[in-house]
């Protein structure tokens, strides 16, 4: 038996490119129960969501699903909807009517019902999946995620024959109005209506994270080393639209829209994205930089900005890749911090260390000698990202931390 498996692996290795088409299957649990997410201020929000295991409580957002161009993508869905119903809508993918998840034209899943949603992934690109039952409500409650269709060969290129990149990030942008989650509006399934209160979002999310959660979240913080190309896939699924403002040194180019390459890339530091849209954005990690991407959340009725979220961009020179974090031997905590920050080594060192802290413009805001651990009062530092360099007799470390007031 083992031998056969080994031979078939060999066969796939050698002939995989010729017979690349395959079926990629995910289990998705459509849950109205059990879900909570904790906001940056400690508030616990009740959510619906799409979990990837039966034993898993749902969180915002659902897991990003991947397949390659030419694959058949199957979502095996089980509804745990209590008295309600759920579906899966594959937004932007060319699903047949029966697989479309629109309850008016296909079907819905009652509590503990199961069904497969299948689609042929014809084009590399960024897509969304979400519940389509009372979607104004169920999407706001958290039933959404991204689908990424990679090129036919699964490589790090934007599409088959597209631009190669070194790193990629996926962002899904949304909001939460806690009042909808505290007292969930009632969906009348018979006439398919929901009586909803005015929408007043309080939390503005990137991958389900907001405010002080953003600088410490690996899925949001953009990291790279000098000279790299970064591919950012962004989808929007709230009721606001967003304005992404990139540092000009990143030379942001919008290159694909809603799962199709644009005829011409659009170079602009500011990129707007509306609910349901997806963009692919190429970014240069040209030099050694610490900066922010700002994301404005804009009310579609009034065009007023309700929130600006700041996501750190950390580009290091290649020789010190990955050392600009609080991992490794040097630890900086808490990060982000409001009043004090502590520098320490994970292993005890008796050497004097020279500590230097610079702001984002490279201006020194602290320097001194100490045997670590050292606690630094940063109450007078303006909010922002700071870079710390710590040198002992034999070693030198670099790390960044964020100050929020
Ligand atoms: Cu639903």
Rounded to the nearest 5 degrees, what angle is found at the Cα of 171, between the Cα atoms of 51 and 239? 85
CA of 189 relative to ligand 1 center, distance in Å:
11
pLDDT of residue 374: 87
pLDDT of residue 16: 44
CA of 64 relative to ligand 1 center, distance in Å:
18
CA of 48 relative to ligand 1 center, distance in Å:
8
3 state DSSP class of 138: helix
Q: What mean pLDDT comes out for the span 296-309? A: 97
Work out the pLDDT band at 20, boundaries 50, 70, 90: low
What percentage of the chain carries pLDDT values higher than 90?
62
pLDDT of residue 325: 42
pLDDT of residue 230: 97
CA distance 34 to 44: 12
CA of 132 relative to ligand 1 center, distance in Å:
6
What pLDDT digit, counting tens, does each position of 114-130 carry?
Answer: 999 999 999 999 999 99
Q: For residue 6, is pLDDT > 50? A: no
pLDDT of residue 113: 94
Work out the pLDDT band at 352, boundaries 50, 70, 90: confident
Structural domains of the chain ordered from first start: 20-163 (2.60.40.420), 172-319 (2.60.40.420), 323-403 (2.60.40.3080)
CA of 98 relative to ligand 1 center, distance in Å:
17
CA of 134 relative to ligand 1 center, distance in Å:
7
Instruction: Order across the sheet with 89-91: list the strands.
Output: 65-68, 144-150, 125-130, 89-91
CB 204 within 8 A of CB 197: no
Kind and range of the H or E run holding 129: strand 125-130
pLDDT of residue 142: 96
What pLDDT digit, counting tens, does each position of 371-383 carry?
Answer: 888 889 999 998 8
Rounded to the nearest 5 degrees, what angle is found at the Cα of 62, between the Cα atoms of 404 and 137? 90
Rg (CA), the chain: 23
pLDDT of residue 120: 96
Predicted TM-score (pTM) of the model is 0.76
């Amino acid at each position: 038996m083992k031998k056969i498996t080994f031979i078939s692996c060999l066969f796939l290795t050698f002939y995989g490119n010729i017979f690349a088409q395959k079926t990629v299957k995910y289990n998705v649990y459509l849950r109205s129960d059990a879900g909570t997410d904790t906001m940056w201020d400690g508030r616990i929000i009740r959510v619906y969501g799409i979990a990837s295991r039966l034993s898993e409580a749902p969180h915002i957002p659902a897991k990003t699903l991947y397949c390659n161009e030419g694959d058949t993508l199957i979502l095996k869905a089980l509804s745990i909807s209590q008295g309600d119903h759920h579906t899966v809508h594959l937004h932007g993918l060319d699903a047949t009517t029966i697989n479309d998840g629109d309850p008016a034209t296909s079907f819905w899943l009652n509590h503990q019902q199961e069904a497969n949603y299948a689609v042929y992934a014809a084009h590399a690109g960024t897509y969304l999946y979400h519940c389509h039952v009372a979607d104004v409500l169920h999407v706001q409650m958290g039933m959404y995620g991204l689908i990424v269709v990679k090129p036919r060969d699964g490589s790090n290129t934007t599409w088959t024959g597209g631009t190669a990149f070194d790193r990629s990030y996926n962002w899904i942008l949304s909001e939460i109005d806690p009042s909808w989650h505290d007292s969930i509006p009632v969906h009348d399934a018979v006439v398919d209506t929901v009586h909803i209160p005015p929408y007043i979002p309080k939390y503005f999310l990137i991958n389900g994270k907001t405010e002080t959660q953003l600088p410490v979240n690996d899925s949001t913080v953009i990291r790279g080393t000098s000279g790299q190309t970064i591919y950012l896939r962004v989808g929007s699924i709230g009721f606001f639209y967003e304005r992404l403002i990139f540092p000009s040194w990143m030379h942001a180019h919008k290159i694909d829209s809603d799962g199709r390459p644009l005829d011409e890339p659009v170079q602009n530091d500011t990129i707007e994205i509306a609910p349901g849209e997806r963009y692919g954005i190429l970014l240069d990690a040209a030099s050694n930089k610490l900066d922010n991407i700002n994301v404005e959340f804009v009310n579609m009725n009034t065009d007023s900005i309700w929130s600006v979220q700041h996501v750190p961009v950390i580009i290091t020179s290649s020789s010190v890749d990955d050392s600009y974090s609080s991992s490794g031997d040097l630890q900086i905590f808490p990060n982000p911090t409001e009043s004090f920050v502590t520098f320490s080594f994970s292993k005890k060192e008796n050497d004097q260390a020279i500590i230097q802290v610079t702001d984002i413009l490279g201006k020194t805001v602290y320097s001194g000698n100490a045997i670590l651990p050292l606690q630094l009062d940063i109450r007078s530092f303006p909010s922002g990202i700071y870079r710390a360099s710590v040198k002992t007799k034999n070693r030198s470390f670099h790390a960044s931390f964020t100050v929020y007031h």
